[in-house]
Amino acid sequence: MIIKSATIRESASGKYYISILVEYEEKIRPVTPAEKVLGLDYSSKALYVDSESNRPDYLGFYRQTEEKLNKAQRKLSGRKKGGENRRKQRLKVARLHEKVANQRKDFLHKLSRQIANACDAVVIEDLNMRGMAQGLHLAKATNDNGFGMFKTFLAYKLAEQGKSLVVIDKWYPSSKMCHVCGEKNKELTLSDRKWQCKKCRAVLDRDVNAAINIRNEGCRILGIEERTIGRMGIAW
């Protein structure tokens, strides 16, 4: 292992961190064929819904601290610029933001590690998270759940084990297509959380159906025979 560089930075809360870049060689054997494939459908509230009907118990760390943050921010606004009291209050606000960020990062690291260890491949949609975060109704929830960070963590945790993160086109009709027979429901709206297929009469949960379709499209891309992959017994 060779240490290439070290970077020291000071956070807004006054803490110092050092980042060390190292170089090392490691032979990673790809996991083929991928037998345990999981599809994830993005959810602004739950972070995601997976193809096994699981929803992570995401706590919404910003929302939990929002009232305290707003109160601290109002106090900061009332402090005289350049004064010692303003400096102290600024540190209190920065530490609250830092706590929320650390809670979110810890949760996403643990969750992505659990999924990477349990699955051979994970399939998600290519979503524009920045664009979604600018929406009037989804901005706060999108910024709070950190799905983009979760995707980054999941990608490298899978890669270091020779596993795959498959990203499918965002225009793939995962929500509108019945995973049982393939019929498309062109009349489906965002408010329809459950719907019945007109062709095979299957009653579908919108998010679970989308996650299964995402998984099946990922299997097609990976060249895996389309089939219902057995439950992995994962609970997160």
For residue 235, pLDDT beyond 60: no
Confidence of residue 138 (pLDDT cuts 50, 70, 90): low
Residue 216 CB burial class (10 angstroms; 0-12, 13-18, ≥19) = buried
What is the average pLDDT across 13-38? 91
Q: One-letter amino acid identity for 82?
A: G
Report which of 52, 39, 41 is spatially closest to residue 224, judged by C-alpha positions: 39
Each residue of 27-85: pLDDT tens digit? 899 998 899 999 999 998 899 999 999 999 888 898 889 999 999 999 999 999 989 99
- Computed over every residue of the chain, the mean pLDDT equals 90
Tell me the three state secondary structure of residue 150: helix
Decide if pLDDT at 227 tops 70: no
pLDDT in tens, 182-201: 999 999 998 999 999 999 99
Q: Is the pLDDT of residue 217 over 80?
A: yes
- CA distance linking residue 143 with residue 129, whole number of Å: 9
Contact criterion met (CB below 8 Å) for 161 and 31 = yes
pLDDT at position 137 is 63
Q: Is the pLDDT of residue 131 over 50?
A: yes
Please tell me the predicted confidence (pLDDT) of residue 45.
85
Query: How many CB atoms within 10 Å of residue 118?
Result: 14
**pLDDT digits over 196-205, tens only?**
999 999 999 9
Catalytic residues: 41, 125, 207
| pLDDT score recorded for residue 135 | 63
- Cβ 197 vs Cβ 178: under 8 Å: yes
- Ranges of each domain in the chain: 2-222
